[in-house]
Structure 1
Amino acid sequence: MKIRHRPLLCLALAALLPARATAQAIPADQPYGTARDLFNMTVDTPPDADTLARGQAIALQGAGDVQSCVTCHSVDGQGDGSGSFPRLTGQPAWYLDKQLDDYASDARPDDLMTPVAQSLSEDDRAAVSAYYASLAAPLRVARGQVSAQEIQKGAAIARAGSPDKGLPACTNCHGPDGTGNPPSVPYLAGQYANYMVLQLDRWKRGQRDNDFGGMMSAIASKMTAEDMRAISEYYERVANPLTTKDPQ
């Protein structure tokens, strides 16, 4: 069963909307309707145990011809940091579900994920999204050596933006310390730098455009490769208390 949502205005994003944008309800049968692009969402009913069990089964064992998610994203949804397999642990279920729906509809084309998402039913996609959203996992050690100057540059842009380039602060939408603005805005804190750089580059090149109102495409177009790398390396090193547990 698809998770139902109700609209909640995202103030940071609304300030950038066209003047004609107005609040509107989301029809129950259109959880991803036009209003999705204008508002954050809140989940009316948390997933039940059966949904989580279904999601876990898909993640660990696959479904039909679809291989298990753990093959690429690991048991706890940690990914591997290579750039292709992001950390899914604790991302908002609504956000993960939307990405899978976008893969399935080719709104976010991807050679690997599109056929996977298309092979899953809507309920399967919702269930596996809810499962990964429920997890917490240790934060892996960041890859590579990065200078203090690069980290400082990334932190400055993340927190204050870059007025001379017209870049807004990442925290405006992604929350304090990049912990996300659930359920529609993903966390950045603890995500892999290589994955974030790859996505920013895709937005800049027009290879990805399934974000809110083209906002990320517009932002990425103003960023240099150095900006992307600095922000991404900074956020990979920020522990997200909402999705990270101490190693046992």
Structure 2
Amino acid sequence: MRFRLKHLIPTLAVAGSLGGSVLVATAQDYDDTPRVERLQAALNDDRVLFQATVNQQPDDDLLELGQLVAMGGGQQGGSGMACIACHGARGQGDGSGAFPRIAGQAGWYMYKQLNDFASGTRPNEIMTGIAQRLSDEEREAVSAYYAAIDAPVLPTSGQVTGETLQWGGQLGAVGSEERGIPACINCHGPQGTGMAPSVPYLAGQDAAYMAKQLTDWRDGLRDNDPMNVMSAIAAKMTDEDITAVSEYYARVGPQVTAAAPQ
């Protein structure tokens, strides 16, 4: 399967992507990775198919390669290349905001981010080096693999006022006409579930990660969004706006209870 960016019509993108600019990885349970047999039912999912022109549909071989890459087994792999070391065995993220949730994310969106990391269009001290060492086929495979995975949403942390969440929900649903901020649902869909192939989900993504991406867009540290849409939107947002919409979308969707200490 070959995915080529030139085959696709650019659409809008926002937070909820790959990578985080920190240096400390957390330990993960590698035994929790799903078996390829459990992913076969997802092969016809729009998130996996990318809704794009491809030479062939994803198959078991592609998913197996993607799983291998996720565990650090690419051609130039190793423990420092293992996606599961930072993003979790099932792509659930680590809950710190440093490493985002990528389970079930739109496959083409993740593939584009990996290409942007590799080219330097989206600079990141961790992801740039990793993406550059992956072949194009490995980027495609690992993107399709994580698009096919589902995982529980990690519990949110920190105290957030009802007023903050209400404002975040308002920005998400209707935006701010006075400030020229469009509603998030215009591009990211109802409840922030994303619009494959190019627009990532926000629902259930880590709040600190989303806030970091919006701040980076506003400050000009990230500008790999098509037509600079997110940069223009974030430039109109205050710190309070960014916190509100990030905390709101982090709480949209099912939450899970933290496991009791063993």
Q: What's the TM-score once normalised by structure 1's chain length?
A: 0.82
- Alpha-carbon contact 2:173-2:184 (below 8 Å) kept: yes
Asked whether 1:139 is paired with 2:157, we answer no
Q: CA deviation at 1:83?
A: 2.1
Asked whether 1:161 is paired with 2:161, we answer no
C-alpha deviations, 1:129-152, integer Å up to 9, x for none? 000000111111111111111111
SS of 2:71's partner is: helix
Q: Between the two proteins, what is the percent identity of the paired residues?
A: 49
Q: CA deviation at 1:80?
A: 1.2
- Alpha-carbon contact 1:137-1:245 (below 8 Å) kept: no
The residue number in structure 2 matching 1:56 is: 67
- Alpha-carbon contact 2:69-2:77 (below 8 Å) kept: no
- Alpha-carbon contact 1:196-1:232 (below 8 Å) kept: yes
Q: CA deviation at 1:33?
A: 2.3
- Alpha-carbon contact 1:138-1:246 (below 8 Å) kept: no
Q: Quick one: which of 52, 65, 85 aligns to 1:71?
A: 85
- Alpha-carbon contact 1:203-1:216 (below 8 Å) kept: yes
- Alpha-carbon contact 2:105-2:201 (below 8 Å) kept: yes
C-alpha deviations, 1:80-128, integer Å up to 9, x for none? 1222211000001000000000000101010000000000000000000
Tell me, in whole angstroms, the C-alpha distance in 2 between the residues paired with 1:227 and 1:95.
25
Q: CA deviation at 1:215?
A: 0.1
The residue number in structure 2 matching 1:93 is: 107
Tell me, in whole angstroms, the C-alpha distance in 2 between the residues paired with 1:223 and 1:191.
19
- Alpha-carbon contact 1:181-1:187 (below 8 Å) kept: yes
Q: Quick one: which of 30, 37, 56 aligns to 2:10?
A: 37
What are the equivalent positions in structure 2 for 1:225-240 lying under 5 Å apart? 225-239=239-253
Tell me, in whole angstroms, the C-alpha distance in 2 between the residues paired with 1:99 and 1:114.
10
Tell me, in whole angstroms, the C-alpha distance in 2 between the residues paired with 1:234 and 1:126.
31
Q: Quick one: which of 137, 143, 146 aligns to 1:123?
A: 137
**Structure 1 pair 200–102 and aligned structure 2 pair: CA distance change class (3 A):** same
What residue identity is the alignment partner of 1:197?
A
What residue identity is the alignment partner of 1:127?
A
Q: CA deviation at 1:193?
A: 0.4
- Alpha-carbon contact 2:103-2:151 (below 8 Å) kept: yes
What are the equivalent positions in structure 2 for 1:199-218 lying under 5 Å apart? 199-218=213-232
Q: Which runs of 5+ in 2 are unaligned?
A: 14-49
Tell me, in whole angstroms, the C-alpha distance in 2 between the residues paired with 1:80 and 1:39.
26
- Alpha-carbon contact 1:151-1:230 (below 8 Å) kept: yes
- Alpha-carbon contact 2:12-2:187 (below 8 Å) kept: no
- Alpha-carbon contact 2:155-2:257 (below 8 Å) kept: no
**Structure 1 pair 38–157 and aligned structure 2 pair: CA distance change class (3 A):** closer
Q: Which moved more, 1:33-42 or 1:214-223?
A: 33-42
What residue identity is the alignment partner of 1:89?
A
What residue identity is the alignment partner of 2:152?
P
Tell me, in whole angstroms, the C-alpha distance in 1 between the residues paired with 2:211 and 2:181.
16
Structure number with greater CO (CA < 8 Å, separation at least 6) is 2
**Structure 1 pair 122–246 and aligned structure 2 pair: CA distance change class (3 A):** farther
What residue identity is the alignment partner of 1:50?
D
C-alpha deviations, 1:9-65, integer Å up to 9, x for none? xxxxxxxxxxxxxxxxxxxxxx31285326896235541110001000111234224
SS of 1:99's partner is: helix
Q: CA deviation at 1:177?
A: 0.3
Aligned CA RMSD, in angstroms, stands at 2.3
Moved over 3 A (4+): 38-41, 43-46, 244-247
SS of 1:42's partner is: coil
Q: What's the TM-score once normalised by structure 2's chain length?
A: 0.78
Tell me, in whole angstroms, the C-alpha distance in 2 between the residues paired with 1:104 and 1:79.
21
